[in-house]
């Protein structure tokens, strides 16, 4: 989408004509819906939360002045974005709503007064609020029946969310069973899934090393990690949880907000320790100031505080206004900004040749953190904001760990500052750099890419770094710095060189062990670490090759489909030979999780003789072991061997098989003493007899579905 258009001048709402107002409401509805999709479905927002909130405020102000113009699709009636088609849907029995916002003390005092007015409270009537941090993660509803976790869903559009039960089960902080004697038969616990700062930084480091997706902030990382089709990916991500609300509840354990949260804690759910009871608007403001002070040291992102009327009978009386409760409000923190000088723009060349501009800043403290780099996204972004070297700029860190440049202070521009000329050639190899659409979600722009391919040392170096990264070959003692050093010395230029390092080093006049900073012990350790990688599972090998668009998940999808290197290679070779209209091409395209972009990238990669040579050389040193599915998924059937027989009523055989495998079970075609369950549909024959003879547990289809919790 083109973002190069300048934002239209905004007229004060009081001056808008009715037709202008209608037009602007239409534009705002479309724009906000678009940002909601990017934020909630792609986990890749394009604008800051502050900018987004400003759009909504503008919409609300216009609607307040022209109530007759409020649209059916107005953002003020909507919550979030529709559940993504990728997931099964869950209809919320009690809707999941949003919160009204207060942006300053006046908004807050008005809120407290409004509540009192609504309840016809006299000044002397006591009215208590809970106050708690507003966690910047994603909301989740977790359903427990008879104390056991049976279902978990995202908020979606508030009415219907995404079923993420298997993924939520992998989160250590979320109990599978609630403890205590007063757990209601049905308890829907709601709260926020989030990622701590430390875990976020470690995840991004690992992702960057692995050439994977780097997340802009902990919220996106948490949402992206939870909303995975493969729950083993979620399991590998460090997610945390705070319970603060509820949906359906068959028995109420308390009659206040605070009492409810205390009951959650007794049942074994994590709750935020900072929640407090406040008796007046002044106490609420004091709480806000205190949390704002402690914000930087909490260890997780918050974007404000939430106040809720404590008594549940009063909450009931207050009720809701379209998308939010009348009895609660979010008091938001302003985004943190600072002013500094842009000293330079550095161009980094990535593994696939993308030229990424990075702003080099005069170091400045933003929200308690010293910032000296900021992302500039791409060429168009620099042009759109007209960012020039020497400019004084406003940087923002809105919970984001990668700071952004919000705008240039043109009035402070030094005389003679020229518009920035984005390089048309690769700064490393000098090859022509071409503009291409940037397909990454939410990127919304173009990227300039070095066409040097295999001759570009920057790309070769990045590919090697990717090759040894944690999710690829993960060679201990051979990190980014060593790779860069060995590459520059010509010691390691291609993956295969890693595995011949020892032989060459033995023959060398200056072996590594004799060099400064190496030492015999560390060299020995490195060489043994390399040896330990002479056998590698298929998914890691595919991922390590650094083929465009083939990340961790895609590599697993391919490996799952082909099992062995030979099968994978012959499938790809057939597609290379057959071309885009061939059956071989369509076969790869048909694999679950694989689309045309990936098939094209595979075909491109394996059409290139240099790549084939490099891969073949590598495989003369490395043995590829077949893909084994890890059963990190915890379910009643994980690790169990299951056989299906007879006619199943509620799903086809292949769906039953896929579902069982997703839950960590092994599906076998024949019954043996090792079989744990035989699921027998109608007209089951010899397998059923066999199972009975062997004493294998036989389940009906319904019993099986109960067991796996569907």
Ligand X SMILES: NC(=O)c1ccc[n+]([C@@H]2O[C@H](COP(=O)([O-])OP(=O)(O)OC[C@H]3O[C@@H](n4cnc5c(N)ncnc54)[C@H](O)[C@@H]3O)[C@@H](O)[C@H]2O)c1
Residue 670 annotated as binding? no
**Which of Zn ion, ligand X, none interacts with 139 (beta carbon under 5 to 8 A by kind)?**
ligand X
Q: How far is the CB of 319 from ligand X (least distance, A)?
A: 17
Beta strands in 333-375 (DSSP E): 336-349, 354-366, 369-375
Query: Among the candidate windows 45-53, 172-180, 422-430, 673-681, which touches ligand X by CB under 6 A?
Result: 45-53
Residue 332 annotated as binding? yes
Q: Nearer to Zn ion by C-beta: 331 or 461?
A: 461
Alpha-carbon distance values, 3 to 131, 380, 400 (Å): 39, 8, 21
Tokens representing residue 370 in the block? 């010293």
Is residue 134 among the annotated active site residues? yes
Sign (positive/negative) of CA torsion 574, 576, 578, 584? positive
Residue 655 annotated as binding? no
The closest alpha carbon to 54, from 334, 320, 304, belongs to: 334
Q: Nearer to ligand X by C-beta: 402 or 513?
A: 402
In angstroms, what is the C-alpha Rg of the chain? 29
Query: Among the candidate windows 165-173, 418-426, 540-548, 568-576, which touches Zn ion by CB under 5 A?
Result: 418-426
How many residues make contact with ligand X (CB under 6 A)? 26
Q: How far is the CB of 134 from ligand X (least distance, A)?
A: 4
Tokens representing residue 295 in the block? 């914000």
> Angle of helix 18-36 relative to helix 49-65, nearest 10 degrees?
150
Q: How far is the CB of 686 from ligand X (least distance, A)?
A: 53
Alpha-helix runs per DSSP H in 480-582: 480-489, 495-499, 501-507, 520-531, 538-544, 552-562, 565-578
Tokens representing residue 33 in the block? 């819906």
Coil, helix or strand for 256?
strand
Q: How far is the CB of 565 from ligand X (least distance, A)?
A: 42
Q: Nearer to ligand X by C-beta: 49 or 230?
A: 49
Which residues in 422-481 contact Zn ion (CB under 5 A)? Answer: 426, 428-429, 431, 450, 452, 456
Q: Nearer to Zn ion by C-beta: 95 or 427?
A: 427
53 sits near ligand X (criterion: CB under 6 A): yes
Q: Using CB under 6 A, which of 98, 163, 276, 356 touches ligand X?
A: 98
**Which of ligand X, Zn ion, none interacts with 98 (beta carbon under 5 to 8 A by kind)?**
ligand X
Contact 338, 395 (CB under 8 A): yes
The closest alpha carbon to 316, from 256, 264, 251, belongs to: 256
Greatest CA separation for the chain: 92
Which residues in 180-219 contact ligand X (CB under 6 A)? Answer: 192
Residue 244 annotated as binding? no
The closest alpha carbon to 353, from 466, 447, 489, 493, belongs to: 447
Q: Nearer to ligand X by C-beta: 328 or 688?
A: 328
Residue 456 annotated as binding? yes
From residue 110 to residue 149, the character string flagging contacts with ligand X as x (rule: CB under 6 A) and all else as - is ----------------------x-xx---x----------
Residue 429 annotated as binding? yes
Q: Which of 3, 89, 134, 556 is catalytic?
A: 134
Q: Using CB under 6 A, which of 16, 43, 45, 495 touches ligand X?
A: 45
Alpha-carbon distance values, 455 to 429, 483, 701 (Å): 8, 17, 58
Query: Among the candidate windows 14-22, 39-47, 229-237, 602-610, which touches ligand X by CB under 6 A?
Result: 39-47
Coil, helix or strand for 321?
strand
Name residue 189's beta-bridge partners. 142, 246
**Which of Zn ion, ligand X, none interacts with 640 (beta carbon under 5 to 8 A by kind)?**
none
Q: How far is the CB of 4 from ligand X (least distance, A)?
A: 19
Alpha-carbon distance values, 248 to 141, 186, 190, 319, 617 (Å): 10, 7, 10, 16, 60
539 sits near ligand X (criterion: CB under 6 A): no
Quote the Cα angle for 231-235-241, to 5°. Answer: 110
- Give 502's Cβ-side CA count (13 Å radius): 12
Q: Which residue has the tokens 């039953």?
A: 656
35 sits near ligand X (criterion: CB under 6 A): yes
Alpha-helix runs per DSSP H in 608-671: 609-619, 653-662
Q: Using CB under 6 A, which of 244, 246, 565, 605 touches ligand X?
A: 244
Query: Among the candidate windows 154-162, 363-371, 420-428, 698-706, which touches Zn ion by CB under 5 A?
Result: 420-428
Residue 192 annotated as binding? yes
Which residues in 274-333 contact ligand X (CB under 6 A)? Answer: 303, 306, 330
Please give the DSSP secondary-structure letter assigned to residue 432.
B
Residues annotated as catalytic are 134
**Residues of the shown chain interacting with ligand X in the complex, contacts defined by CB under 6 A:** 35-36, 38-39, 45, 47-49, 52-53, 79-80, 98-99, 101, 132, 134-135, 139, 155, 192, 244-245, 303, 306, 330
**Residues of the shown chain interacting with Zn ion in the complex, contacts defined by CB under 5 A:** 426, 428-429, 431, 450, 452, 456
Binding residues for Zn(2+): 426, 429, 456
């Amino acid at each position: 989408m083109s973002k190069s258009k300048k934002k239209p001048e905004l007229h004060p709402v009081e001056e808008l004509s009715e037709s202008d107002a209608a037009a602007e409401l239409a534009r705002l509805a479309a724009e906000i819906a678009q940002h909601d999709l990017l934020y909630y479905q792609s986990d890749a927002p394009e604008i800051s939360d502050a900018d987004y909130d400003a759009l909504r405020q503008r919409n609300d102000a216009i609607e307040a002045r022209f109530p007759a113009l409020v649209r059916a699709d107005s953002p003020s009636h909507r919550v979030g974005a529709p559940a993504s088609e990728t997931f099964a849907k869950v209809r919320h029995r009690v809707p999941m709503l949003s919160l009204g916002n207060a942006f300053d003390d006046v908004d807050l005092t008005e809120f407290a007064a409004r509540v009192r007015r609504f309840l016809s409270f006299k000044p002397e009537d006591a009215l208590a609020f809970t106050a708690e941090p507003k966690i910047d993660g994603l909301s989740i509803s977790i359903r427990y029946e008879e104390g056991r976790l049976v279902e978990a869903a995202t908020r979606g559009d508030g009415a219907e969310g995404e079923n993420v039960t298997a993924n939520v089960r992998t989160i250590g902080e979320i109990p599978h069973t609630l403890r205590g004697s007063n757990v209601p038969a049905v308890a829907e616990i709601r709260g926020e899934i989030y990622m701590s700062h430390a875990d976020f930084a470690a995840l991004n480091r690992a992702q960057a090393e692995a050439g994977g997706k780097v997340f802009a902030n902990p919220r996106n990382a948490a949402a992206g990690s939870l909303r995975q089709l493969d729950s083993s990916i979620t399991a590998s991500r460090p997610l945390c949880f705070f319970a603060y609300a509820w949906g359906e509840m068959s028995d109420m354990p308390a009659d206040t907000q605070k009492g409810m949260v205390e009951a959650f804690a007794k049942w074994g759910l994590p709750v935020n320790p900072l929640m407090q009871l406040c008796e007046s608007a002044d106490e609420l403001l004091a709480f806000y100031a205190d949390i704002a002070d402690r914000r930087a040291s909490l260890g997780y992102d918050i974007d404000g505080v939430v106040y809720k009327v404590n008594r549940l009978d009063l909450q009931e009386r207050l009720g809701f206004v379209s998308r939010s409760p009348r009895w609660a409000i979010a008091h938001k923190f302003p985004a943190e900004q600072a002013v500094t000088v842009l000293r330079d723009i550095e161009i980094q060349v990535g593994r696939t040749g993308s030229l990424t501009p990075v702003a080099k800043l005069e170091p400045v403290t933003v929200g308690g953190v010293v910032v000296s780099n900021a992302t500039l996204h791409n060429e168009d972004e620099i042009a759109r904001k007209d960012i020039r070297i020497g400019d004084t700029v406003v940087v923002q860190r809105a919970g984001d760990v990668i700071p952004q440049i919000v705008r240039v202070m043109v009035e402070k521009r030094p005389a003679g500052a020229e518009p920035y000329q984005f390089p048309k050639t690769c700064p490393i190899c000098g090859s022509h750099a071409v503009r291409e659409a940037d397909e990454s979600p939410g990127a919304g722009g173009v990227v300039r890419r070095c066409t040097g391919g295999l001759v570009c040392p920057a790309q070769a170096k990045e590919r090697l770094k990717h090759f040894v990264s944690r999710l690829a070959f993960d060679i201990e003692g051979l990190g980014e710095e060593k790779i860069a050093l060995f590459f520059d010395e010509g010691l390691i230029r291609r993956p295969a060189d890693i595995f011949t390092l020892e032989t060459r080093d033995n023959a060398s006049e200056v072996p590594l062990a004799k060099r400064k900073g190496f030492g015999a012990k560390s060299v020995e350790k490195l060489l043994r670490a390399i040896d330990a990688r002479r056998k590698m599972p298929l998914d890691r090998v595919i991922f390590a090759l650094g083929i465009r668009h083939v990340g961790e998940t895609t590599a697993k999808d391919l490996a799952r489909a082909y099992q062995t290197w030979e099968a994978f290679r012959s499938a790809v070779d057939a597609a290379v030979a057959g071309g885009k209209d061939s059956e071989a091409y369509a076969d790869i395209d048909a694999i679950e999780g694989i689309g045309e972009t990936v098939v094209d990238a595979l075909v491109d990669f394996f059409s290139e003789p240099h790549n084939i040579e490099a891969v073949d050389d590598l495989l003369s040193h490395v043995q590829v072991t077949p893909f084994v599915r890890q059963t990190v998924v915890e379910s009643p059937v994980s690790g169990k061997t299951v056989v299906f027989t007879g006619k199943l009523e509620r799903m086809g055989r292949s769906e039953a098989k896929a579902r069982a495998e997703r839950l960590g079970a092994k599906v076998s075609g024949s019954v043996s003493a090792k079989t744990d369950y035989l699921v027998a549909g109608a007209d089951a024959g010899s397998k059923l007899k066999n199972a009975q003879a062997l004493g294998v547990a036989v389940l009906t289809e319904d019993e099986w579905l109960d067991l796996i919790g569907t």
